[in-house]
Amino acid sequence: MAEYKESDVIEEEKNCKLTYYFRDLLKERINFQISEEETVDIIDAVETLVSNIITYVTSKVDWLPFSRLLKVGSMAESTSIVFPDEFDYLAIHKQKGMQIERVCKQDRGYAHIKVTDPDLKKKWFKWLRGDYLQAFFTTNGFADMFPGDFDTLGNALMYEVAQISQSVSDVGVLPKRTGLMRIGKRVQKNGPAFTQHFLWEPYNLQKSKTTIKVDITPAIEFDLNDDIINENDTFHTDILNKTVEHGKFMLVLTHDHGPSCPLCFRLTFTETEVNLVCCLDTHHNDCYKLLKYIFNSGGSVNFLSSYVLKTLVLKHGYHCEETANLAVCFKQLVAVCLHYLFNRTTGEKIEKYFKQNVVE
């Protein structure tokens, strides 16, 4: 028993030293390495310019009736690391003249959108298959020949934003206290989203210019009903309760590697997700940042996506009472990640693995 206590003390000392190391790492490398004033300027400039772009598109193109812009992802959750150079937004269309159908029962995370409004059918006829909106379209190599016939609604929005980015001059420049934000000319496809590039130019000439990547995803918002989500779809009742309390969900375009059905839009509960992460205590928020820094900052290869790491930390947090010793939680979380990387079967989906195997 005495030997066990001694080893336990040694382990505790190791964890204490590792926690101090993590605290220094967060301070010196992981948390934003610029002043609070410059951080606020970058965030404000991005939000202003993105809002201006979407407002302009909506006012000029009557078939893109987006009602609001929602900031999501790490910037909304306060989990962004190193530098505020990646932003995520949903351009939301409030459900009107559409209804949702859960036709593909084998894919619970997806649904079809039936357009019922005659005027909307006329505006969106290019992206309809019968009465249903297409989530993606396989071009089989002919997209360059007939780009208008092989579009999705999301690609059409990307095209309109790109046109504005090419034509703006003074409107695309926003001066702030610490620097200048410019709308870049580059817009690229990125799964269900598209990425608009901005350029941040600090007034301090000793600092480098930085490319800011802004992902914008078109989303259609619906009221929640009993068929959309139940207890079997979540790993904790609190998540279900928060989703039901919010009362909304959204459908977004499907990844190219998603379901084979071209009508399947992916269900997302992004606003609830942001709220869940914001409710994490500082301890587990720091664990999430550490995981992102170690697993996803080694270059172009991301072993595990930020979304997977986020899900892992959320599930861990519901069953963890540790609030001070970062090393204890971090080692548990890394053990799960490494177990997955070395033991997954070929083609196994990451989300399914973590749902079944994450340690609690």
Q: Would 200 be classed as within a structural domain?
A: yes
Number of domains in the chain: 2
Q: What is the pLDDT of residue 333?
A: 93
The answer to whether residue 103 sits within a structural domain is: yes
Task: Please answer whether residues 181 and 174 qualify as being in contact, where contact means their C-beta atoms are separated by less than 8 angstroms.
Answer: yes
pTM: 0.84
Rounded to the nearest 5 degrees, what angle is found at the Cα of 60, between the Cα atoms of 55 and 64? 70
Of 246, 269, 292, the residue at which a domain comes to its end is: 269
Task: Express each pLDDT in 189-247 by its tens digit.
Answer: 777 788 889 999 999 989 999 999 999 888 999 999 878 888 888 888 888 899 999 99
Specify if 275 maps to a domain.
no
Task: List the domain range (segments joined by +) for residue 198.
Answer: 35-269
CA atoms 289, 46, 166, 59: torsion sign: positive
The predicted pLDDT at position 21 comes to 94
CATH of the domain at 227: 3.30.460.90
What pLDDT shows up at residue 302? Answer: 63
From 126-130, 151-155, 168-172, 333-337, the region with the lowest mean pLDDT: 168-172
User: Do 17 and 44 share a domain, yes or no?
Assistant: no
Cβ atoms of 110 and 264 within 8 Å: the answer is yes
C-alpha span between 278 and 77 (Å, rounded): 5
Check whether residue 305 and residue 208 sit in a common domain: no
- Quick one: 49 and 87 in the same domain? yes
Contact 216, 161 (CB under 8 A): yes
Whether residue 18 is found in the same domain as residue 41:
no
**Do 319 and 228 sit in the same domain of this protein?**
no
- Residue 121: inside a domain: yes
Do 136 and 22 share a domain, yes or no?
Answer: no
Q: Are residues 177 and 320 in the same domain?
A: no
Query: 140 falls in which pLDDT band (50, 70, 90)?
Result: very low
Question: Are both 172 and 62 inside the same structural domain?
Answer: yes
Quote the pLDDT of residue 148: 46
Alpha-carbon Rg of the chain, whole angstroms? 23
- On whether both 347 and 320 belong to a single domain, the answer is yes
Asked, for residue 116, whether it belongs to a domain, the answer is yes
Q: What is the pLDDT of residue 124?
A: 85
Q: At residue 360, does pLDDT exceed 50?
A: no
pLDDT above 90 coverage of the chain, percent: 40
Check if the beta carbon of residue 213 is closer than 8 Å to that of residue 204. Answer: no
According to DSSP, residue 325 is labeled: -
d(CA 327, CA 46): 35
Q: Which residue has the tokens 């204490």?
A: 16
Indicate whether 158 belongs to any domain. Answer: yes
pLDDT at 38: 97
Would 90 be classed as within a structural domain? yes
Cβ-based burial of 40 (10 A; exposed 0-12, middle 13-18, buried ≥19): middle
Q: Give pLDDT tens digits for 300-336.
A: 456 788 888 999 999 999 889 888 899 999 999 999 8
Q: Are 199 and 184 in contact, with CB atoms under 8 Å apart?
A: yes
